[in-house]
């Protein structure tokens, strides 16, 4: 069954899995996990360079920007102003206009500050950024972000790093139904079935970091996630059966021995 | 201190010795940083890559140099 291609910010991708690069043992493990996952888009954080350790390797030496679409994030930003500044700096590194916008509203839950996210998105879209906002699983906010001109909306499944899976599939279903831009579940996925569930609901992709990096065997989990995304997508396109309360026999009721 | 001669810049939030105005490219070289891997702000203004060669870091400037690190 030939799938439609996944288009994001004017570029086509085969993989619908976007992976983060945080929490790995070292850059070599990061690269190996990214390769196993089959992801073509990888998120990175924007931070001050280490002045004291000048021999330190750079992440981009392990993830070639010619091969991977680098997606800088604004993780750790608590105001629209900080997020905008971070995006402007990230763009100047020279890997393109695609940015993952996240403006955090609360340290403990890492839930987004929706008002600040909308404010930052407006400015960034005007400045030519291709904005992918991390946002609460709220259909109205996702609509607003789409109207502003974001190239995707990225509702959370559950709090960042929680591994709780999809806590509100019904809201996600509404967001997917309303969206004219790709819907990417970002944050909260714990294991392969969570990723498959997101895809079965009709999401266009899933973004994850901790579920892979925090697994006992990150490389095996990266592969599991790749397969889950593909399986979930295929099941969505295949069209699942209706849920029924009672049994329907799979074997013929005629020709029984007796 | 009033009257004192500044001999540093503020680099990524910390004092960094710089006793004379220096081309940005020299500073990056001294720090062993490749221009394709970083972005630079001087006094809160982003320096476009095309301007690196002509940009002078002045004593007392606030300089931020960022790069990409692992993140989700």
Per-residue pLDDT reduced to its tens digit, A137-186: 999 999 999 999 999 999 999 999 999 999 999 999 999 999 999 999 99
Token readout for A201 is 């609901």
Nearest C-alpha of chain A: how many angstroms from B7? 18
Q: Assess whether pLDDT exceeds 60 at residue B3.
A: no
Distance CA B22, CA B41 (A): 15
Q: For strand B45-47 and strand B14-17, is the pairing parallel, antiparallel, or unpaired?
A: unpaired
SS3 A207: strand
Are A45 and B16 a contacting pair at CB < 8 A? no
Distance CA A39, CA A16 (A): 7
Residue showing tokens 């394709």: B36
Active site residue A100: yes
pLDDT above 90 covers a percentage of chain A that reads 94
pLDDT band at A39 (very low <50, low <70, confident <90, very high): very high
Q: Count CB-CB contacts under 10 A for residue A6.
A: 19
Q: Is B56 on the interface with A (CB under 8 A)?
A: no
Closest chain A CA to residue B72: A20
Closest chain A CA to residue B33: A54
Nearest C-alpha of chain B: how many angstroms from A250? 45
Nearest C-alpha of chain A: how many angstroms from B9? 13
Q: Read off the pLDDT of residues A47-105 as tens digits, 9 standing for 90 and up.
A: 999 888 766 789 999 999 999 999 999 999 999 999 999 999 999 999 999 999 999 99
Instruction: Return the pLDDT at A100.
Output: 98
For B32-71, strand residue ranges (E) read: 39-42, 45-47, 56-57, 62-70
Q: Read off the pLDDT of residues A216-257 as tens digits, 9 standing for 90 and up.
A: 999 999 999 999 999 999 999 999 999 999 999 999 989 999
Which of B14, B36, B46 faces A88 most closely, judged by CB atoms?
B46
Q: Is B11 on the interface with A (CB under 8 A)?
A: yes
Are A44 and B70 a contacting pair at CB < 8 A? yes
CA B49 to chain centre: 13
SS3 A99: strand
Q: Assess whether pLDDT exceeds 70 at residue B1.
A: no
């Amino acid at each position: 069954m030939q799938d439609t291609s996944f288009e994001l910010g004017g570029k086509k991708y085969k993989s619908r899995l976007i992976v983060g690069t945080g929490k790995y043992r070292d850059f070599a493990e990061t690269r190996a996990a990214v390769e196993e996952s089959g992801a073509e888009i990888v998120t990175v954080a924007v931070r001050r360079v280490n002045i004291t350790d000048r021999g330190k390797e750079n992440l981009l030496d392990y993830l070639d920007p010619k091969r991977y679409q680098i997606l800088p994030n604004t993780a750790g930003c608590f105001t629209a102003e900080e997020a905008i500044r971070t995006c402007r700096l990230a763009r100047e590194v020279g890997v393109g206009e695609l940015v993952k916008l996240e403006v955090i509203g609360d340290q403990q839950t890492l839930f987004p500050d929706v008002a600040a996210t909308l404010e930052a998105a407006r400015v960034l879209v005007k400045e030519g950024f291709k904005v992918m906002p991390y946002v609460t699983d709220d259909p109205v906010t996702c609509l607003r972000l789409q109207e502003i001109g974001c190239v995707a909306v990225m509702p959370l499944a559950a709090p960042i790093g929680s591994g709780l899976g999809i806590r509100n599939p019904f809201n996600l279903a509404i967001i997917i139904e309303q969206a004219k831009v790709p819907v990417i579940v970002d944050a909260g996925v714990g294991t392969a079935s969570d990723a498959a569930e997101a895809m079965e609901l009709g999401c266009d992709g899933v973004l994850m970091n901790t579920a892979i990096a925090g697994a006992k065997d990150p490389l095996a989990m990266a592969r599991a996630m790749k397969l889950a995304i593909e399986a979930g997508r295929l099941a969505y396109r295949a069209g699942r059966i209706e849920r029924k309360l009672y049994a329907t026999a799979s074997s013929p009721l005629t020709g029984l021995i007796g | 201190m009033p009257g004192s001669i500044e001999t540093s810049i503020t680099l990524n939030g910390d004092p960094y010795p710089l006793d004379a105005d220096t081309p940005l490219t020299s500073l990056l070289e001294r720090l062993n940083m490749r221009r394709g891997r970083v972005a630079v702000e001087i006094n809160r203004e982003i320096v476009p890559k095309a301007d690196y060669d002509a940009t002078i870091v002045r004593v007392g400037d606030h300089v931020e140099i960022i790069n990409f690190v692992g993140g989700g």
